[in-house]
């Protein structure tokens, strides 16, 4: 699935492809926002860990990964 993270005062958003379920990501975001000095920690498909301070989060968009369409018949 694809997770887009907007960070305050950053020109670009972070885009992560993750094997975590949407519920797991939503719980991680909620837990990070509840903690006093919370840090959102997610792991992408390649095993890399992304850490974002919760107080700098602008938004988090959680979307199911689309299967890639190939050819003219997929229009």
> Largest Cα–Cα distance of the chain, in whole Å?
51
In whole angstroms, give the CA distance from residue 17 to residue 35: 25
Please count the structural domains in the chain: 1
Domain that holds residue 18: 2-66
Q: Is the pTM of this model over 0.85?
A: no
Supply the pLDDT for residue 8.
95
Looking up residue 50, the CATH number of its domain turns out to be 2.30.30
Supply the pLDDT for residue 73.
64
The SS3 of residue 51 is strand
pLDDT per residue rounded down to tens, the chain (75 residues) = 899 999 999 999 999 999 999 999 999 999 999 998 899 999 999 999 999 999 999 999 999 866 666 767 655
Is residue 71, in this structure, part of any structural domain at all? Answer: no
């Amino acid at each position: 699935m694809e997770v887009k993270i907007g960070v305050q005062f950053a020109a670009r958003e972070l885009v992560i492809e993750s094997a975590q379920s949407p519920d797991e990501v939503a719980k991680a975001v909620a837990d990070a926002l509840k903690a006093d000095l919370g840090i959102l920690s997610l792991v992408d498909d390649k095993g890399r860990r992304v850490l974002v301070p919760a107080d700098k989060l602008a938004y988090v968009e959680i979307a199911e990964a689309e299967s890639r369409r190939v050819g003219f018949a997929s229009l």
